[in-house]
A and B are shown apart, each in its own frame.
Chain A
Amino acid sequence: MSTSDHASQSSVELLYIDHHHWLQGWLRRRLGNASDAADLAHDAFLRLLAAPRRFDSVAQARGYLRTMANGLCIDLWRRREVEQAWLQTLAARPEAVEPSPEHRAVIIETLLEIGDMLRRLPQKAATAFVMAQVDGAPYREIAHRLGVSERMVKKYIAQAMLQCALIEAGLAP
Chain B
Amino acid sequence: MAATDLPAPPENDAAKAGFDSLEQAASWYATLRSEDATEQERQSWRDWLAQSPEHARAWAHVEAVGRRFDPLRRSGREAAVAGIEAARRGTVGRRQALNGIAGLFGLGLAGWLGWRHTPLPEIVMAWSADYRTATGEQREIALADGSRVWLNTGSALRVDYRADIRLLRLIAGEILIQTAADDAGRPFCVDTRCGRMQALGTRFSVRHDEGRTRLDVFESAVEIRNTAGAVQRVDAGQRADFTGHIISALEPAEAAREAWRRGVLLADNIPLGQLIDELARYRPGRIGVAPEVAELSVMGVYPANDPERALAMLENTLPVRVRRTLPWWITVEAR
Q: What's the nearest-Cβ distance from chain B to residue A121, in Å?
A: 8
Q: List residues of chain A with CB within 8 A of the CB of B61.
A: 165, 168-169
Q: Is B25 an interface residue (CB 8 A)?
A: yes
Q: Which residue of B lies closest to A132 (CB)?
A: B33
Q: What's the nearest-Cβ distance from chain A to residue B216, in Å?
A: 15
Q: Can you list, as one digit per residue, whether each of B215-248 has a CB less than 8 Å from chain A (1) or not (0)?
A: 0000000000000000000000000000000000
Q: Is A10 an interface residue (CB 8 A)?
A: no
A85 to B87, CA, bound (A): 9
Chain A residues with a Cβ closer than 8 Å to the other chain, count: 67
Chain B residues with a Cβ closer than 8 Å to the other chain, count: 71
Q: Can you list, as one digit per residue, whether each of A152-173 has a CB less than 8 Å from chain B (1) or not (0)?
A: 0011011101111111111111
Q: Is the CB of A71 within 8 A of B33?
A: no
Among A1-55, those with CB < 8 Å from B are none
Q: Is the CB of A112 within 8 A of B87?
A: yes
Q: List residues of chain A with CB within 8 A of the CB of B294.
A: none
A107 to B35, CA, bound (A): 28
Q: Is A137 an interface residue (CB 8 A)?
A: yes
Q: Which residue of B lies closest to A141 (CB)?
A: B35
Q: Which residue of B lies closest to A118 (CB)?
A: B88
Q: Is A57 an interface residue (CB 8 A)?
A: no
Q: What's the nearest-Cβ distance from chain A to residue B181, in Å?
A: 9
Q: List residues of chain B with CB within 8 A of the CB of A135.
A: 73, 76-77
A113 to B1, CA, bound (A): 12
Q: List residues of chain B with CB within 8 A of the CB of A154.
A: 30-31, 34
Among A123-142, those with CB < 8 Å from B are 123, 125-127, 130-135, 137-140
Choose one: B22, B71, B77; the contact of A171 (CB below 8 Å).
B22
Q: Is the CB of A157 within 8 A of B84?
A: no
Q: Is the CB of B33 within 8 A of A115?
A: no
Q: Is the CB of B68 within 8 A of A113?
A: yes
Q: Is the CB of B87 within 8 A of A78?
A: yes
Q: Is the CB of A71 within 8 A of B97?
A: yes
Choose one: B23, B68, B75, B104; the contact of A99 (CB below 8 Å).
B75
A-B pairs with CB below 8 Å: how many?
215
Q: Is the CB of B104 within 8 A of A171?
A: yes
Choose one: B29, B79, B85; the contact of A157 (CB below 8 Å).
B29
Q: What's the nearest-Cβ distance from chain B to residue A112, in Å?
A: 5
Q: Which residue of B lies closest to A122 (CB)?
A: B268
Q: List residues of chain B with CB within 8 A of the CB of A169.
A: 7, 10, 18, 22, 61
Q: Is the CB of A115 within 8 A of B264?
A: no
Q: Is the CB of B36 within 8 A of A126?
A: no
Q: What's the nearest-Cβ distance from chain B to residue A84, in Å?
A: 7
A93 to B8, CA, bound (A): 42
Q: Is the CB of A89 within 8 A of B79?
A: yes
A120 to B269, CA, bound (A): 13
Q: Is A111 an interface residue (CB 8 A)?
A: yes
Choose one: A110, A130, A150; the contact of B81 (CB below 8 Å).
A130
Q: Is A86 an interface residue (CB 8 A)?
A: yes
A89 to B76, CA, bound (A): 10
Choose one: A115, A123, A155; the contact of B87 (CB below 8 Å).
A115
Q: List residues of chain B with CB within 8 A of the CB of A173.
A: 93, 95-96, 99, 101-103, 262
Q: Can you list, as one digit per residue, whether each of A89-116 has a CB less than 8 Å from chain B (1) or not (0)?
A: 1101100010100010011101111111
Q: Which residue of B lies closest to A166 (CB)?
A: B22
Choose one: A134, A139, A170; the contact of B8 (CB below 8 Å).
A170
Which residues of A line the B interface, CB within 8 A?
A: 71, 74-75, 78, 81-90, 92-93, 97, 99, 103, 106-108, 110-120, 122-123, 125-127, 130-135, 137-140, 150, 154-155, 157-159, 161-173
Which residues of B line the A interface, CB within 8 A?
A: 2, 6-10, 15, 18-19, 22-23, 25-27, 29-31, 33-36, 58, 61-62, 64-66, 68-69, 71-90, 92-97, 99, 101-105, 255, 259, 262, 264, 266, 268-269, 299-301
Query: Could you give 10 example pairs across A and B, Cβ below 8 Å?
Result: A74-B90, A78-B94, A97-B75, A107-B72, A112-B87, A133-B72, A134-B72, A134-B77, A154-B31, A173-B102
